[in-house]
Structure 1
Amino acid sequence: MARSSEIGAAELLRRLDAGQISAQEYAQEIVRSCRELAELNAVSFFDPDLLAEFARGADEKRSKGEGGRLCGLPLIVKDNINTTAYPTTGGTGALQNCTPETNAGVISRLLGEDAIIGAKSGMHELAFGITSNNAVTGAVRNPHDTSKIPGGSSGGTAAAVAAGMFPAGLGTDTGGSCRIPAALCGVVGFRPTHGRYAGDGIVPISHTRDTAGPLARCVEDISLLDGVLSGEEVKTAQVNPADMRLGVPAEVFFDNLEPEVEAGVQESLRALEKAGATLVDVSFADIWSHNEAFSFPVVFYEVMRDLPAYLQKHAPHVTLGSLVEQIGSPDVAGAIGSQLGEDAMPQEAYRAAMDVHRPAMRKIYEDVFRTSGLAAIVFPTTPLRARDIGLDETVELNGAQVPTFPTYIRNTDLGSNLGVPGISLPCRSVAGLPVGIEFDGMAGADAGLLSLARAAEAVLSQ
């Protein structure tokens, strides 16, 4: 039997359907992988006996012809998504013993199709960062080089999928938290159009920006999970690369790239162009001032309202004050602590973000797409590859020290603020640490973007 690292989600389901493997046999592979790769610290909660129980149930359902679309598929789920089978802690001290009474909406969707929630994954504390260097639960490590970060905040899910511990998993994305770790770990990470998936039962940052998102090793598996999570019966259409019209942004996205990122993305663009894709230079010059006026005002204003509401509903014994007191990661403590006093984000800035800047951003973005006839825009997911664990404040980029968080989210943040779908694919020909290339589409055009991504993946894997 092939090891778990060699089987993707859709392929596993095909083998289960054909009787070539049982859910219980596959579960044994996962137990071995989790034991052998424990140094990655990708898993926050895992119970081999519980996994075996779930796998037996899946095999019984299959034997009776009663299994759903994902019957027997084990997934790893980020530790800020409510699960009744395992605690949901957000990677923070005050919630370490909290097991919710109800599953998050996205978990109910997966369980409704008989998927198995196999484990919870490590993450950046409260999802407020991109390194997954968590002072409470320990640093998650990149499977390509364990001295490096996996990205975040969904670093545990990305590391577990990249290392072959699980075939696929679920993260969350507020400013890039599925796409950034996908890029740094060499897997596929998808942020859907905001509102496409259920948002209830997730430890929040911002209801305007938060969304769950799948991570996997191929686009086929992302599409499989998207169909279940969205409730849409969407068939991935065949896209001819010659029909791809891709916008290449002139500003910001390609600025000051690490040479290896520049080389990997440019080679990928040349491969797409050689396959027939049309690359169009486009400009979003006027969008960036609006993006800056939107991004942090919305996050800081909403977290101070959304987080207490979550605690009241799902962890009523924990107050916001007690939660803040037990934050262990200095970067997270500083970010949330800044909103407790006179420097808290004013309502006026929040209302301007929502009522003025976001509509302006969306109009600029949509006008560029329509004027240029674009299927998507394409750009490096991150300006740099994975850096050493512990560099939470600054990292080196082209000989200069730059701030860690804003540098890593620079290219992913805009899509989050617009609420549009984005998918990061690995640049396959890169040696050493992975490099990601991202495709962003129009709001609501998720199925088309996934079809395009599958065609691009085929080109880039040649």
Structure 2
Amino acid sequence: MTQTHLGKSIAQLSVLIQSGSLDPVALAEETLDAIRTYKDQAIFTRLLEARAMEEAAASSRRLRDGRSRGLLDGIPVAWKDLFAIAGLPTTAGSIVLADAEPAQDDADVVKALKAAGMIAVGRVNMSEFAFSGLGLNPHYGTPLNPLATDVARIPGGSSSGSAAVVAAGLVPVSIGTDTGGSVRIPSSFNGLVGYKASHGRYSMAGVFPLSTSLDSLGPLCRSVQDAIWVDAAMRGRFVPEVERAEPAGLSLIVPTNVVMDDAEDGVVTAFQAALAKLSAAGVKIRRAAFPAFERFFELMAEYGPLVTAEAFVLHHRRLAGPEADAMDRRVVARTRMGEKTTLVGYLETLKVREQLIKEVAATLGPNEFIAYPTVAHVAPALAPLEADDELFVKINGRTLRNTAIGNFLDWCGVSLPCGVGDAGMPVGFLLSAPKNHDERLLGAALALEGIVTG
């Protein structure tokens, strides 16, 4: 079949579907065909061919009968391997859950996008148990970054397959999770828009957890408009509540501490060029130090990371049994570190976290956002990370640094492509706002996207 619709955005496909120029069944067939024949078979852990064709046929009937469910009807979507799909075990990128009890029902957000008419084409790969920002998976293979032209490079994680599948043009959107950067990092590495919603914005029912204090969800896609449409549907709304902001009415705060430490020259150049374009468009930019950033890393050094403590609670029985031998050694090592966090240290971390969230929010004006590079480097080469566990730990920490700040401070965030750095690989521009300011954030990102990416 001639592949004429791959690589398009949701908005582009929606125009064709709603006008009758593209049948959802034909699009589903084309999509599945492309997935089956794509050179990198590590992207998907499970294709949902029968379900996809059934949902596409239902969408086609609705459209013929004039009963469209809206702009997302007939649009393919891929799901990270930790969202429950009825009739299948939820494996979370791990082989130890391959024989788990099948889910009785879809996750709530899977149901929500099905209700909007979207077509679930499959589950995509991820870091095992979502516990790495790099995206390596020794069980199902590591998806390769589709934009790398020199050497095999990582996709970023933990939503590795979610980024690779969109960057490869196989689907227009994939839904990932973000506990320390797992939507924004792979979006940055693959030149995509990645929206991490506020913690608690969507139902987490049917989503395999990592850290209940930090877990959040979001789409990886080709435009902010696409993210806005998907966000509305994930909350059961068919009309988005986001209004495009005016660039001249926006103000950005660029932190002067932590986030630019050890940044690659190419990342710095791309980010500064984006700031210059924003300033020329009337966006106000000021620079300020955020003492809360250092306090966050001091807390981690003193008591251990919050995510590690909560991951250990989740997996401690698994780690004490034979299943640990079948897990990624790097995930096992990192998770076991959570045993060192005492109850006092855990509670103190939560207390200080709340103080820092309020402290930072109080420093922001009514229409101010925080801006800095999503990651301080571009996607690194895969082979050295597979060969050297010490290097893996070092690069994983560096990769997660900038985005993890936002999870700890309970921000929502959007990573926008803002040019390229070393080896011609994409650089991400991270725009963040306090919790539950998602509509403002998305409205600002909608206004700034064309300037930053242009």
> In structure 2, what is the equivalent of residue 8 of structure 1?
9
Assess, with a 3 A threshold, how the Cα gap between structure 1 residues 113 and 363 changes in structure 2: closer, same or farther: same
Hey, what's the Cα distance between the residues in 2 that align with 1:354 and 1:6? 42
Aligned-residue offset at 1:301: 2.6
Assess, with a 3 A threshold, how the Cα gap between structure 1 residues 393 and 362 changes in structure 2: closer, same or farther: farther
Q: Aligned ranges for residues 89-168 of structure 1 at < 5 Å?
A: 89-98=91-100, 99-145=102-148, 147-168=152-173
Deviates more, 1:109-118 or 1:242-251: 109-118
Contact 1:91 1:126 in 2 (8 A): yes
> In structure 2, what is the equivalent of residue 44 of structure 1?
45
What secondary structure, in the 3-state scheme, does the structure 2 residue paired with 1:427 have?
Answer: strand
Question: Is 2:319 the partner of 1:302?
Answer: no
Contact 1:86 1:120 in 2 (8 A): no
Hey, what's the Cα distance between the residues in 2 that align with 1:94 and 1:61? 40
Hey, what's the Cα distance between the residues in 1 that align with 2:23 and 2:175? 23
User: Can you give the 5+ residue segments of structure 2 that lack an aligned partner in the other structure?
Assistant: none
Hey, what's the Cα distance between the residues in 1 that align with 2:347 and 2:175? 31
Deviates more, 1:423-432 or 1:121-130: 423-432
Q: Deviations over 1:199-233 (max 9, x none)?
A: 12111111110112111011110000111113454
Question: Is 2:332 the partner of 1:337?
Answer: no
Hey, what's the Cα distance between the residues in 1 that align with 2:248 and 2:208? 42
Assess, with a 3 A threshold, how the Cα gap between structure 1 residues 375 and 155 changes in structure 2: closer, same or farther: same
Hey, what's the Cα distance between the residues in 2 that align with 1:229 and 1:193? 13
Letter in 2 for 1:128: F
> In structure 1, what is the equivalent of residue 400 of structure 2?
409
So what's the TM-score if we normalise by structure 1? 0.90
**Which of 212, 217, 226 is the aligned partner of 1:221?**
226
What secondary structure, in the 3-state scheme, does the structure 1 residue paired with 2:431 have?
Answer: strand
Question: Is 2:187 the partner of 1:182?
Answer: yes
> In structure 1, what is the equivalent of residue 426 of structure 2?
434
Assess, with a 3 A threshold, how the Cα gap between structure 1 residues 142 and 86 changes in structure 2: closer, same or farther: farther
**Which of 409, 413, 418 is the aligned partner of 1:418?**
409
Hey, what's the Cα distance between the residues in 2 that align with 1:19 and 1:326? 53
Letter in 1 for 2:344: E
What secondary structure, in the 3-state scheme, does the structure 2 residue paired with 1:369 have?
Answer: coil
Contact 1:261 1:385 in 2 (8 A): yes
Q: How many equivalent residue pairs?
A: 443
Aligned-residue offset at 1:393: 8.1
Letter in 2 for 1:190: Y
Q: Deviations over 1:151-194 (max 9, x none)?
A: 00001000100110101010000000000000001101111111
Contact 2:157 2:182 in 1 (8 A): yes
- In the TM superposition, structure 1's runs of 4+ consecutive aligned residues that sit over 6 Å from their partners are none
Question: Is 2:370 the partner of 1:377?
Answer: yes
> In structure 1, what is the equivalent of residue 174 of structure 2?
169
**Which of 347, 350, 359 is the aligned partner of 1:351?**
347
Letter in 2 for 1:237: E
Deviates more, 1:296-305 or 1:150-159: 296-305
Aligned-residue offset at 1:325: 2.1
Hey, what's the Cα distance between the residues in 1 that align with 2:222 and 2:67? 28
User: Can you give the 5+ residue segments of structure 1 that lack an aligned partner in the other structure?
Assistant: 309-317
Contact 2:312 2:336 in 1 (8 A): no
Letter in 1 for 2:347: R
What secondary structure, in the 3-state scheme, does the structure 2 residue paired with 1:335 have?
Answer: helix
Letter in 2 for 1:383: A
Assess, with a 3 A threshold, how the Cα gap between structure 1 residues 127 and 429 changes in structure 2: closer, same or farther: closer
Hey, what's the Cα distance between the residues in 1 that align with 2:56 and 2:224? 25
> In structure 1, what is the equivalent of residue 200 of structure 2?
195
- What CA RMSD, in Å, does the superposition of the two structures yield over aligned residues? 2.4
> In structure 2, what is the equivalent of residue 315 of structure 1?
none
Hey, what's the Cα distance between the residues in 2 that align with 1:227 and 1:331? 36
